[in-house]
Amino acid sequence: MAENATLETKLVGNMEGNFFIPSYQRGYRWEKEHITMLLNDIYDNGAKSYCLQPIVVKSIKDGEFELIDGQQRLTSIFLILKYMKQLLPFVEQKFSLEYETRDRSKLFLDSLDENLKDENVDFHHMFNAYTAIEEWFDDGAADKSLKAINLYKYFSENVKVIWYQVDKNQNPIALFTRLNIGKIPLTNAELVKALFLSKDVAGLTSEKQLEIATSWDAIEKELHDKSFWSFLTNDDVEEYPTRIELIFNMITNKASHEKERFYTFFYFTERMKTKLKTDEWKEIQEFYLILKEWYEKRGIYHKVGYLVASGVKIQELIKGSKKLTKNEFDASLNSKIIEHLDLTRDQLLGLSYGSLKDKSKIENLLLLLNIETVRLLKDSSEKYSFEHHKLRNWSLEHIHAQNSEGLNKQADQQAWLTLHKASLKQLSGDDDYQNRINEVIRDIDEKFEEISQVLFDDIFTKVTLLLSENEDRSYIDLVSNMALLSIENNAALNNSTFDVKRNKILEMDRNGEYIPICTRRVFLKYYSNSNNTQLQFWGEDDRRSYIEAMVGKKGLLMPYLKNNAGE
């Protein structure tokens, strides 16, 4: 942004001058629906503040401007004011327009002679837009003169444009290309930057401008670090053509449902009425440096990262951290996590996959288990990857098979039978057990080609029992039988028994797919203490050891659980 740029808001009713639209721009192209939408938006908004997209200009001489961006909006406003002037003589039209590519454009806009409307495509669209304005005023129960009075009042008191007058040395064609051909919008962040760097009455020294600009660029560059970005927010980077806007949104506490497109810009515009730019920029830097410090401190990184991933706004944590010592801040993070989980140990053990509310709680606690497992690795600089976590949609995976629901296609059923036949062949036991295994294998071989839903459900039940420790399946939907997995990987493992899932998880891990550390440990039997651990089942001892790692005496989740009643 050039240092001599001017950035301010102007009421539509106060815009003055002659605007020259150069040949590098296409002509006027708004259709009826664009005009109608603009009029409806402004009229329905009423007496509330309403801001149009920026008007970008470059001064030619006093009262004359080259219009770099905004000609569609400005031409439409001109036509609306022209129509209202026919109804209300007191309406003032303080600006004019002239298109370089159309010698008689200024004359046509003044007259809107229907006989000239087909002379060229620009005149055609201008005349059609004016007709659409007439139709809008004629449509509805309200008297059109009353509508014009109200609309002119809104133009004079409520409807603003962001007026961005670039430095005289700015290359207008390059700027137009970036804003239009390149499809890069003039963002809140760029407007705020212009606000900080533009010359005001008090002025900024060139050194201070350079300092702000350099610092700005450094912050923008660091926010392109995927790991840092994923730690700070759950927002998609695609929503931020300029990354620093995220920091501004945090500082202004901009709500996700905020409809004002330039909310952030207006926030800083108001602030700078009472504060020096240098002081305001210093506060922004301090806010950013706190975020950077938290990212670099491994312990804080994991706790703050968990809370942000769970939906807590990081600006709330910054606000709560002020005037706290390091230990007090760490304790406050623990309290936030306890508040967010909102579980006692007994409640955790009673959670069930079958409850929609419980499913969300199980996902939260398993995410925390994975994060804490990485945080507490000894002699390690490894960090939990919020980048990989946020690239995926996550779901709960039953460690041991749930049921055959969803296996309706013959091809899917045959694939399931093939995988589980291989697992059955690895089993061994007494004669009775071996006979049951052989019988099921024969069933698979004999019925494989003509498998039906009834036959498959019967074999599914037999296979699941053989690959289970016993017939008790009351644990199926409890936390002890749950692991965190991406939806894509979950679909690949759906309804398989532990042994088949284990082999697939190991294959995914070898292929470099992202498997959360605790999910990987589950299928490697990391939590199981027995020296004679069998690999085909997820048994009672396995489930007990898994829960012990979560909420036993040294369980990783114990510091984040509420006390049971009476304790």
Kindly state whether residues 286 and 421 are assigned to the same domain.
Answer: no
**Helix boundaries (H) for 342-479:** 345-350, 356-375, 386-390, 410-424, 431-447, 453-466
Answer yes or no: do 34 and 174 share one domain. yes
d(CA 194, CA 191): 5
- Residue 448 counted as domain residue: yes
CA 545 – CA 371 distance, rounded (Å): 19
CB atoms within 10 A of CB 211: 14
| 145 shares a domain with 229 | no
Q: Which residues of 276-314 are buried (b: 16+ CB within 10 A; e: fewer)?
A: ebeebbeebbeebeebeebbeeeebbbbbbbbbbbebeb
Residue 384 tokens, joined: 């939990």
Asked if residue 317 is part of any domain, the answer here is no
Residue 460 has what pLDDT?
A: 81
Q: Which residues of the chain have pLDDT under 70?
A: 1-5, 176-186, 199-204, 402-407, 467, 469-472, 491-494, 530-534, 565-567
Residue-wise pLDDT tens digits, 407-445: 677 877 887 788 778 777 877 778 888 888 888 888 889
As a whole number of angstroms, the distance between CA 364 and CA 520 comes to: 18
Amino acid letter, 394? W
- pLDDT value at position 199? 59
* Whether 210 and 226 share a structural domain: yes
Residue 493 lies in a domain: yes
Q: What is the pLDDT at residue 100?
A: 86
Q: Are residues 167 and 116 in the same domain?
A: yes
74 falls within a domain: yes
Cα 189 to Cα 244: distance, rounded to the nearest angstrom: 7
Burial class for 136, CB neighbours closer than 10 Å (0-12, 13-18, 19+):
buried
pLDDT of residue 5: 67
User: Is 517 within a domain?
Assistant: yes
Q: Say if 303 falls within a structural domain.
A: no
Q: Are residues 138 and 265 in the same domain?
A: no
As for how many domains the chain has, the answer is 4
In a domain, 320, yes or no: no
Do 360 and 499 reside in the same domain of the chain?
A: yes
Residues 379 and 496 in one domain: yes
Answer whether residue 338 is part of any domain. no
Max Cα-Cα span within the chain: 105
Residues 6+ apart with CB under 8 A from 386: 227, 230, 231, 305, 308, 309
Same domain, 25 and 86: yes
Q: Residue 169: which of 19, 1, 21 has the closest Cα? A: 1
Indicate the pTM of the whole model: 0.72
Boundary residue ending a domain (466, 486, 507) = 466
Which among 296, 311, 333 is the end of a domain?
296
Cα torsion 457, 458, 463, 469 to 10°: value is: 100
pLDDT in tens, 238-287: 889 889 999 999 999 988 888 777 888 888 888 887 888 888 899 999 99
Tens of pLDDT along 366-409? 999 999 999 999 989 999 999 999 999 999 988 887 665 656 77
Structure tokens at 429: 């036991």
DSSP-assigned beta bridge partners for residue 164 = 7, 56
Instruction: Out of 262, 278, 296, pick the residue that ends a domain.
Output: 296
Q: Could you list the residue range(s) of the whole structural domain that residue 239 is in?
A: 200-296
Q: 291 and 169 share a domain? A: no
Shared domain for 130 and 279, answered yes or no, is: no
Question: What pLDDT, on a 0 to 100 scale, did the predictor assign at position 35?
Answer: 94
Shared domain for 108 and 212, answered yes or no, is no
